[in-house]
């Protein structure tokens, strides 16, 4: 498990001192030009679609389609004009703009087209007052994170950050802390402005490690929080994430940028259920979504509170009062509380750990109902060694698509397992079921079966491999396999 710092290198708060200082500098320039007795002029500094900087006396509305304002030039007419370049995006009235190009919002977008922005945030700059040379502002932020003990960096809306900037920042972080892990927010499941064109370009972000070039991004975020078990588009998204990052996709069962949590939304949908049935369904669906997110990608993550099916007030409206948070945990901390799913999530983590596949790229290959009329969905996931590109094995993930309708039956023919030992010899140990052949297996949320590739030479495996499967059965069953 890693502690990850969320790096928002796209925008800052409108009241950030850096924005306020730039606002004031612009106003000082405009006031200065108006107060001069001799004629002074103010022009726009713009970047055109070919990357060429030029001055313009006016900036008509149609220019927004092909040009970006990066600063202003000012001074006495007939003399060489001084130039002031912006760090933030601004319109023709010099108002700071947000991500969507709107003024009067609570955030301000970084002006990636301006060289002043790159110098300040990435390259480094000289303090005008002290003369001291400092690393780029974001490099200072990364230094602080590493000093605090963070072992991972998440890049908010990563595809909006120019890949040369991203490469330089991640290289800086890796040089300072070689074990640092990076994850890119990609929002591939959302029709965001320019996302479809920009996300593939993240493959251009590279760093040098031990003299060898490799992807700067370790993991790219899958849109599993918007995906159902039958959503085939997750197959293509997984391939895209594998193409832009070192280990491919990372899944999550929920998203903080929504008005409610998964548990919260399910509770609304099941408002007519009896309280006991509703809590069971909420827990089973949350566990189901966690299993899906965990097993379709190399890495997975969840926001704090998911383990107790917590609610949230809305995007950036959460009450962060520690007293209230502790009260929620105390209310649901009992292991037998129906909404405390921490142990069930731990079983999923243990199962994934047992695969010994930290170095694998997980790729969803297919997803379909197990049979006509069945609520079970079979998702087939291939594992490929990230370094050697060898096929490691196949994971069959069985997902209950309707946990609120109760456990779904898994036919017995899907429960046979073949395990391999370190020498790739088929284990002689039989899979001894503790139930009679005619007894049925029912799945509340998930079950997974791993089939190792006999031609793959794995890294040393532990003495025991424990496959923990979540299911309802008569009687309950847990299989432990001893490596011969």
Q: What is the pLDDT of residue 313?
A: 58
Q: Are 112 and 162 in contact (CB under 8 A)?
A: yes
Specify the range with the lowest mean pLDDT, choosing from 243-252, 262-271, 417-426, 461-470. Answer: 417-426
* pLDDT of residue 202 exceeding 90: yes
Q: Determine the pLDDT at residue 40.
A: 84
The residue with greater pLDDT, 437 or 165, is 165
9-13, 169-173, 301-305, 315-319: range with lowest mean pLDDT: 315-319
- Residue range 171-182: average pLDDT? 96
pLDDT (mean) for 392-419: 81
- pLDDT, tens digit, for every residue of 151-163? 999 999 999 999 9
What is the 8-class DSSP label of residue 267? H
Cα dihedral 234/235/241/242 (nearest 10): 160
The span from the CA of 277 to the CA of 461, in Å, is 41
Domain limits of the chain? 5-116, 218-482
pTM of the model: 0.83
Where does the pLDDT of residue 90 fall: very low under 50, low under 70, confident under 90, or very high at 90 and above?
very high
Q: 142-152: per-residue pLDDT in tens?
A: 999 999 999 99
Cα 435 to the chain's mean position, in Å?
A: 42
Which has the closest alpha carbon to 282: 325, 311, 318, 312? 311
The residue behind tokens 């950036």 is 316
pLDDT category at 482 given cuts 50, 70, 90 is very low
Host H or E run for residue 81:
none
Radius of gyration of the chain (CA): 27
Q: Average pLDDT for residues 359-363, to the nearest whole number?
A: 95
**Distance (Å, rounded) from C-alpha 264 to C-alpha 269?**
9
**Structure tokens given for 293:** 């997110």
């Amino acid at each position: 498990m890693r502690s990850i710092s969320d790096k928002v290198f796209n925008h800052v708060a409108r009241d950030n001192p850096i924005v306020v200082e730039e606002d004031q500098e612009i106003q000082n320039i405009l006031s200065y030009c108006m107060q001069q007795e001799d004629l002074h002029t103010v022009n726009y500094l713009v970047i055109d679609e070919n990357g060429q900087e030029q001055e313009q006396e006016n900036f008509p509305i149609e220019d927004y389609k092909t040009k970006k304002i990066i600063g202003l030039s000012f001074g006495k007419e007939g003399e060489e004009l001084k130039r002031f370049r912006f760090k933030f995006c601004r319109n023709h009235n010099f108002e700071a703009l947000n991500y969507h190009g709107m003024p009067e919002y609570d955030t301000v977008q970084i002006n990636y087209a301006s060289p002043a922005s790159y110098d300040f945030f990435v390259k480094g700059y000289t303090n005008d007052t002290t003369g001291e040379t400092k690393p780029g502002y974001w490099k200072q932020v990364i230094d602080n994170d590493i000093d605090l003990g963070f072992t991972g960096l998440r890049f908010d809306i990563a595809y909006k950050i120019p890949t040369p900037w991203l490469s330089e920042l991640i290289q800086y972080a890796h040089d300072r802390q070689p074990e640092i892990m990076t994850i890119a927010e990609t929002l591939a499941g959302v029709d965001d402005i320019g996302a479809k064109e920009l996300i593939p370009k993240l493959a251009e972000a590279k760093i040098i490690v031990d003299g060898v070039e490799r992807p700067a991004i370790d993991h790219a975020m899958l849109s599993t929080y918007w995906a159902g078990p039958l959503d085939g588009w997750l197959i293509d998204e997984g391939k895209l994430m594998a193409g832009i990052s070192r280990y491919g996709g990372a899944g999550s069962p929920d998203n903080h940028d929504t008005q409610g949590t998964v548990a919260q939304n399910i509770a609304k949908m099941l408002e007519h259920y009896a309280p006991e049935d509703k809590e069971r369904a909420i827990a089973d669906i949350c566990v189901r979504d966690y299993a899906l997110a965990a097993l379709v990608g190399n890495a997975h993550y969840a926001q704090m509170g998911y383990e107790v099916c917590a609610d949230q007030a809305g995007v950036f409206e959460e009450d962060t009062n520690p007293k209230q948070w502790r009260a929620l945990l105390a209310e649901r901390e009992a292991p037998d509380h129906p909404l405390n799913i921490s142990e069930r999530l731990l079983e999923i983590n243990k199962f994934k750990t047992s695969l010994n596949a930290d170095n694998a790229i997980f790729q969803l290959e297919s997803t379909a109902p197990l049979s006509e009329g069945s609520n079970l969905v079979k998702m087939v996931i291939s594992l490929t060694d990230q370094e050697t590109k060898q096929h490691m094995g196949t994971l069959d993930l069985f997902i209950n698509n309707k946990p609120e309708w109760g456990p779904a039956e898994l036919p017995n023919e899907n429960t046979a397992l073949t395990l391999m030992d370190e020498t790739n010899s088929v284990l002689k140990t039989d899979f001894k079921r503790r139930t009679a052949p005619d007894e049925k297996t029912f799945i509340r949320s998930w079950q997974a079966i791993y089939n190792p590739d006999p031609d793959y030479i794995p890294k040393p495996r532990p003495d025991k491999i424990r496959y923990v499967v979540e299911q309802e059965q008569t009687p309950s069953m847990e299989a432990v396999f001893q490596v011969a």
